[in-house]
Structure 1
Amino acid sequence: MKQSFLFLSAIAFSFVACNQNPKQTGNAAAEDHSSHDQCYQSISNADTLDMHLHNHDGKVQGSLNFRFKEKQNTQGDIKGEFRGDTLFVDYTFTVGGTPSKNPLVFLKQGDDLSQGYGEIETYLGKTYFKPGAPITFGNGFILKPTNCQ
């Protein structure tokens, strides 16, 4: 009798434990991911910079187009992330048939992005901003939000 009681108790416990899956509503089950497109433009004298970003939870990818009056234009892809109010991206483009990749940095100031400059170094084929070296903002392009087309 005691064995039957233990056996039935074990079956009942297993049945209850297996049905302890909490019910999720659509809102509770959905993860909160912020995703949006942002476009910027800067016109400085006769030079223009257009940027299109797709921002997903601080990770960005998009395109960048430099049009210069006295230098060769470049157009390419960017990929990177926001670290606080600073956007770090790798800019991949082609100049004269040669692929290139450079790091770029922008500081978010209000709605604008201010291009920064700092010391860069290359190690094992990867170019990046030198850790600990200062980055200065305000002497480069100041990008203003614009409508994405």
Structure 2
Amino acid sequence: MKKLFFISSIMSSVLLACNQNPKQTQQATTEDHSMHDQCYQAITNADTLDMHIHNHDGKVQGSLAFRFKEKQNTQGDISGEFRGDTLFVDYSFDLNGTPSKNPLVFLKQGEELSQGYGEIETYLGKTYFKPGAQIDFGKGFNLKPTNCK
């Protein structure tokens, strides 16, 4: 009887210890992969870019608005993903009543995003950054985090 009690106690301790780690791991995983709202803004001279994204596990959905002093303003939706520290999105918007879609790229540096420019190409109606081409992150908007409205 004592052996049975001793074995039961050991088995209970082992099971209790095994059950605690998965709960902690699952909780940490849930927190790490939860959806995050993030907002950014860049102001350069009289031009402004506002971005609001929902980031879930590196997959991004959101909105983007360009307001220019000397060009046509645009506003639309973005969807894409982070690949490492680089955010690749498709920007869907209307320009003079015509639906348009352009690829955009942003490099995450700390809490900020820097817009990049690179060679793009179109194949079968899809426009994308040319594979292997250099992307310059020094000429675009520099977005800083801001409070989401």
TM-score bin, normalised by smaller chain: 0.7 to 0.9
Partner of 2:45: 45
Q: Secondary structure, in 3 states, of the residue corresponding to 2:133?
A: coil
Partner of 1:5: none
Cα separation, 1, equivalents of 2:139 and 2:129? 17
CA displacement 1:74-129 (0-9 Å, x = unmatched): 00000000000000000000000000000000000111000000000000000000
| TM-score scaled by length of structure 2 | 0.80
Give the unaligned 5+ runs of structure 2.
1-18
Bigger Rg, which one: 1
The CA RMSD over aligned residues, in Å, is: 1.6
Cα separation, 2, equivalents of 1:85 and 1:29? 25
Partner of 1:95: 95
**Which amino acid in structure 2 is aligned with residue 88 of structure 1?**
F
Cα separation, 2, equivalents of 1:66 and 1:136? 19
Stretches of 4+ aligned residues off by more than 2 angstroms? 24-34
Partner of 1:133: 133
Cα separation, 1, equivalents of 2:114 and 2:130? 19
Partner of 1:63: 63
Partner of 1:147: 147
Higher strand share: 1
Cα separation, 1, equivalents of 2:94 and 2:139? 25
Partner of 1:17: none
Give the unaligned 5+ runs of structure 1.
1-23
Aligned residues: 126
Cα separation, 1, equivalents of 2:141 and 2:78? 16
CA shift at 1:138, angstroms? 1.4
CA shift at 1:34, angstroms? 2.6
Q: Give the percent of matched residue pairs that are identical in Structure 1 and Structure 2.
A: 79
Partner of 1:108: 108
Moved more, 29-38 or 54-63: 29-38
Q: Secondary structure, in 3 states, of the residue corresponding to 2:137?
A: strand
Q: Secondary structure, in 3 states, of the residue corresponding to 1:139?
A: coil
CA shift at 1:141, angstroms? 0.2
CA shift at 1:29, angstroms? 6.6
| TM-score scaled by length of structure 1 | 0.80
